[in-house]
Structure 1
Amino acid sequence: MAEWSGFYPCTCIAVDAQAYGGNNDRRQSEIQHDLPRILSRAAGGTGLDRSQWHIQPKGDEELAVHPMDGTEPRLVDDFVRHLVSELREYNGTRVPTARMRLRAAIHHGPVELADNGFAGTTVVTTARLLSSRHLYDALTTHDGADLALLLSDDVYRSTVAGGHTTLSAADFRCVTVREKECEAAAWLQVPGHEVRRPGAGRPAVDQPEPPTREGPGGDFAGRHDYRGEQISVNNFTAPVDLRGGVVGFGSAGG
């Protein structure tokens, strides 16, 4: 197992089983037995050695930390892919109420091996990502998904945006995480599913609203951000004054 002294650049991978507390005693024990084995098989399928990771188990949750060694793109890409595959196989033999669905977060930065675990804001930020409402909402919105993942902005930019994985920006949606003292941008992925806002019927990306410009007299001059939900359809049977208005023509079928 890799050791280091002081604060050293590390990668943190945290996972947590969804709705663990709602299970009975036997099911909770089963989850604690099966979770590390699923993670180990996923790592083995990726060619990564989990025996070199410092692992802090917490029942239905696990935090793994290891010094950055160039395998970060494989963690974000291959490890996550194998983890989804392992969860799919595991859940395929169980009734829906016995599925294991995971929230996961990956971040990197300075970490110290402390007397009672790990020290550093990197570890704290990883924990805040893992507890973000965005992960809970993603699993609620995508009921068929077995995993929802948040990458910190640093991890996303150094791996996905940097072109070091097989993933693309279309696989993610940028969100803002606000948990306790943490407020940070992060990137949400639901492997195998198009990332949607909770309750939405189609993919969406957080983007600012287009700017508007007001002309003389308060009229919107040069504005081109008309939206379908803002358009009113009227039938006129007499002359009307349409100065300042916008008129569109279309067939009855749209």
Structure 2
Amino acid sequence: MQHDLPRILDGAARSAGLSRSEWHIQCKGDEQLAVLPMSGDQPRLVDDYFRHLVSELRHHNEQRIPEARMRLRAAMHQGPVELADNGFAGTAVVVTARLLNSRPLYDALDAYAAADLALLLSDEVFRSTVAGGHTMQRVSDFSRVTVRLKEHESTAWLTVPTIGAPLAVTEDRESGGRPVGDRPYRASADRSAPAPEPDEGDVEPSRNSASAVRDAYRAERMNVTHMNGPVDARGAVFGFGSTGV
């Protein structure tokens, strides 16, 4: 774990075009606490970094037996941090630690055995990036939860990058078994319209699936966009086909 974790985190940063050499990193055995400079990279972290981290984890785990698989909890917060004699100091560091060790992250990984990563964003990060429309992430891919741990209580936003908004209700360890979610976790909960009935040829999702897999070709549902010049297409999906008969 101590050998593979830094390598995986470094690989995700390189793939996202981020330099971890500019980060202040505190190693904690099977954990890392990273403090980043105020460089405007916050949307890229939420978007690109965690997407590439999922890819790195998948590649790592495909080469190992199930017992040696690595699964990670991740939490992100923002605020001033001071470099101290033995690490970092400041409220932002404490809040990040509380988020990382909160029950919703553990429950998400317990509920989705196929997932390699569960991510929790503080309310401040979520509102300034995802809700602010500065990433390719959808608000409906997150569930709002209340984190209660020791003296800390705050709103946070939970997602499992390969699943979306978790479906299961979680409970806080220190609240006597009360649900900590402000609402039950439901994938795409912010959508006001019900999901359409599956068409012939589509694969209907099971009750335990967070998303449907649709294999049918639907030309009338395709959008064609002509672009000139550089385009930021991170998170986009492209299709290519010949013009011949």
Residue in structure 1 matching 2:133, options 163, 186, 207: 163
* Structure 2, unpaired ranges of 5+: 171-183, 191-245
* Structure 1, unpaired ranges of 5+: 1-30, 207-254
Give the structure with higher Rg (CA): 1
Query: Which whole-Å deviations, capped at 9, do the CAs of 1:54-93 have from their partners, x for residues lacking one?
Result: 0000000000002221000000110000000000000011
Alpha-carbon distance, 1:201 to partner: 10
Indicate yes or no: 2:37 matched with 1:67: yes
Q: Which amino acid aligns with 2:60?
A: Y
- Given that 2:143 and 2:157 are in contact with CA atoms closer than 8 Å, whether structure 1 keeps it comes out as yes
SS in 2 for 1:55: strand
Output the CA distance in 2 between the equivalents of 1:183 and 1:110.
Answer: 19
Alpha-carbon distance, 1:198 to partner: 4.4
- Given that 2:54 and 2:161 are in contact with CA atoms closer than 8 Å, whether structure 1 keeps it comes out as yes
Aligned counterpart, 1:145: 115
Structure with higher strand content = 1
The change in CA–CA distance for 1:116 and 1:97 in structure 2 (over 3 A counts) is same
Alpha-carbon distance, 1:203 to partner: 3.6
Output the CA distance in 2 between the equivalents of 1:66 and 1:113.
Answer: 12
Aligned counterpart, 2:81: 111
Indicate yes or no: 2:53 matched with 1:83: yes
Alpha-carbon distance, 1:205 to partner: 5.3
Q: Which amino acid aligns with 2:24?
A: H
Task: List, as ranges, runs of 4+ consecutive aligned residues in structure 1 with deviation greater than 2 Å.
Answer: 198-206
Output the CA distance in 1 between the equivalents of 2:112 and 2:118.
Answer: 9
> What pairs with 1:202-221 in structure 2 (closer than 5 Å)?
203=187
The change in CA–CA distance for 1:105 and 1:95 in structure 2 (over 3 A counts) is same
Q: Which amino acid aligns with 1:151?
A: L
Residue in structure 1 matching 2:168, options 174, 177, 197: 197
Structure with higher helix content = 1
Output the CA distance in 2 between the equivalents of 1:64 and 1:127.
Answer: 11
SS in 2 for 1:74: helix
> What pairs with 1:1-254 in structure 2 (closer than 5 Å)?
31-194=1-164, 195-198=166-169, 203=187
Tell me which of the two structures has the higher relative contact order, counting C-alpha pairs closer than 8 angstroms and 6 or more residues apart. 1
Alpha-carbon distance, 1:202 to partner: 6.2
Output the CA distance in 2 between the equivalents of 1:50 and 1:64.
Answer: 9
SS in 1 for 2:168: coil
SS in 1 for 2:118: strand
TM-score normalised per structure 1: 0.67
Q: Which amino acid aligns with 2:14?
A: G
Q: Percent identity?
A: 66
Alpha-carbon distance, 1:115 to partner: 1.2
Q: Which amino acid aligns with 2:105?
A: L
Query: Which whole-Å deviations, capped at 9, do the CAs of 1:134-188 have from their partners, x for residues lacking one?
Result: 0000000011000000000000000000000000111100000001111000000
- Given that 2:8 and 2:53 are in contact with CA atoms closer than 8 Å, whether structure 1 keeps it comes out as yes
- Given that 2:75 and 2:121 are in contact with CA atoms closer than 8 Å, whether structure 1 keeps it comes out as yes
The change in CA–CA distance for 1:202 and 1:72 in structure 2 (over 3 A counts) is closer
